[in-house]
Each structure stands twice: as C-alpha cells, then as structure tokens.
Structure 1
C-alpha cells in the first residue's frame, strides 16, 4: 500500500494528514499552498479537477473528499482501530456521524467562508447567516453527545469521526459560532489537542494558533 497526500496547512486535508500520522501509516506529503493558488495549477487539476485538497494518491490512483478518505483508510488499515469494526454495535453511529459531518458541517463551513465566491455576492450575507445557524446546530448536537463525559465521539475509542470533528471545530476558531463556546466541547477539544499526533500534525503543517496552552 502506497500513499501520497496533497495537503494545504489547516485545510480540509488536515484530518487525513492527522489520521496518517496517528496510525503510523507511511506516506509522502506534498504541499499545495491554497493561499497562493497552487490548487489551480494545471498539473494539480489533472489529479483533482475540482482544484481542492485533499488528494490522496492510493496505489497510484488519485482519490478525493476528506470524509471518504478517512473511511477508506480505516477500511484499508483495520489494525489501527480508527473505526468500529463491521458488525460492531458502534458501527451505525460511526457511519451516521461521518455522513453528518460530511453532508452538514462541511458544506455549512464552505458556505460561510466562500459565500461571496460560490454564489451571488449580493446574497452572501444571507448565505452566511444560514451557514452560521447550521454550524451552531451542529455544535449543539456534538456538545450534547459528549455531555455524558465520553472521551471520544464513538465507541469509547479514538476514531476518524474525532479527526474530522476537531478539524471542523478548528475552522470555527474565528467565527461567531466557535466550537469552544459550547461547554462540553471544550474538554473534548483539549483532550484531542493534547494527543502527540495532533501536536506533530501542527508542527508539520506549521500551525500554532489553536493549541492547548503550555503547562
């Protein structure tokens, strides 16, 4: 099994990068700086016609969509234990959360950040207002889920759902609806940010603006 990850620091590739590090899966990291427009380079667009990250080369074939890539890696590397096993009673909740974040939270985040680019700029304010409500409702749902004191979202173990959720929560750090406004999400976020793999991820991507305070 061979992998090459095309990523941009802090972007939608972050969860996949994190999973590869946590699972100890060998891969080659290839930087695509979206702030400099590298995602529009013709060479990259041949790999990813949408011009977005991540792209993961899986045994020579380019694959896309962060949630799908997390699920694919969990399937290809079951020994990493980052998804409930087929037949497990926690498997249905894992599917539900992964699809919820892919179908609800990710699109709402895109609507917030790209309201004036993806649609009519005259309607951007209304699009952002709707996106904010959807993001807030998402944090309420996840806050209620971890209110029972669980350490992780599914099955009492770290999983791909945690990687995806924390990446999305990080994106909210400068939004009116930041995830840290929800009380039960705060210790959950701090727990995930304390993982050595998250710290390594931030070091590799050159990120320092959403870490736990130094003790």
Structure 2
C-alpha cells in the first residue's frame, strides 16, 4: 500500500513535487505572516509549523534555522517592491527601488520589524547571516544589475564602483529608519537618489567632443 511522506506524494511512485512545493509555499506564507504580525519572536518554528499545517521536521527539511525560514517568508511578502517598471531606464529604476523601500518601511509592519532584526543581528550570528543572505543580498543584486545596465547603455558614467554606489543609494534610508533622527519619507528618498544621480549620470558631449563641465 502506498504511504505518504513528508516530501509530498507517495512512495508508490506518485509524483511528489507538486505537494512538496505546496507545503513549502504554505510554510513561507505562514512565516511571512507571523513576521509581519509579531516579528521574529512570533515566528518560532512551532508557530510556523502549526500555521502551515506541517510538522517541525518538515520545516527543517528546507531551512536550517528559524532565522532562515522567517527571513525568507518576510522577503517573499515584500518581493513586489523590488521589481522596477518594465522598460524603465536606470535612473528611473533606481529611484523606484529606493522609494519603494521607504514605502514598505513606512506603510507596513516591515519598518519596525527591520529595526528589530537589525538590533538582533548584532548579537545573533544566525539572524545576521539570514538578513544578509535573504534580504540584503537579493535586493542589492537587483539594483547592481540596474547600475551595470545603466553603464552599458550610457545612461550612467562608465567605471562606477557598483558596491559604493549601492551603499550611497540605500544607506540614507536605513540611517533614518534605524536612528529616527528625521522623518523617513518618499520625498526624502527621491531627493537622495536625484542628488546621487547628478554625480553619476553620463555627461553628454558638446559638439566638438568636449564634455560639459
């Protein structure tokens, strides 16, 4: 008689992938919801498994730790704000990404959650690693490709230090988010991008081949 396993499907040959993917999606959805509702403290392995309707062993099959699954669930919930408009140029795309980050942090529970995660990461290597790998890494990769495309297409100056440009783009957002010394607004984010772009845009050549001052 066929028996079901935690990976989905049965051991008698029935395809397991759809069921496995369904369970994985349910776990990520549960983790994301719990993170948005109560932060990392609420997203325990027990709570995630219970809400997803699976065992803790099933969760551990895909993620090595609570921090990893919780961050991935949160990232999945926030994924929509990291897709620039189709056909947008590099400058427009970068402005979109920075402003979208501010909108996420100021109009959803993601702002307080990010402050809590950043604080916890100082003393918890697991959370610090998950934050870098699940949150910062993928988002920096998206923006980095926009910068490289801008250089290739002549919209941005050639030879930019991509990593430094990324820090200059997003650091003001996290600075105000974490320290709260001034309001974090979309207008502020757009102004930061515009000022940075004034320095990194490609300079059109005047007639005769000389660059504008």
More strand by share: 1
Q: Max radius of gyration: which structure?
A: 2
Task: Using CA pairs under 8 Å that are at least 6 residues apart, name the structure with larger relative contact order, 1 or 2.
Answer: 1
Would the TM-score normalized by the shorter structure come out above 0.5?
Answer: no
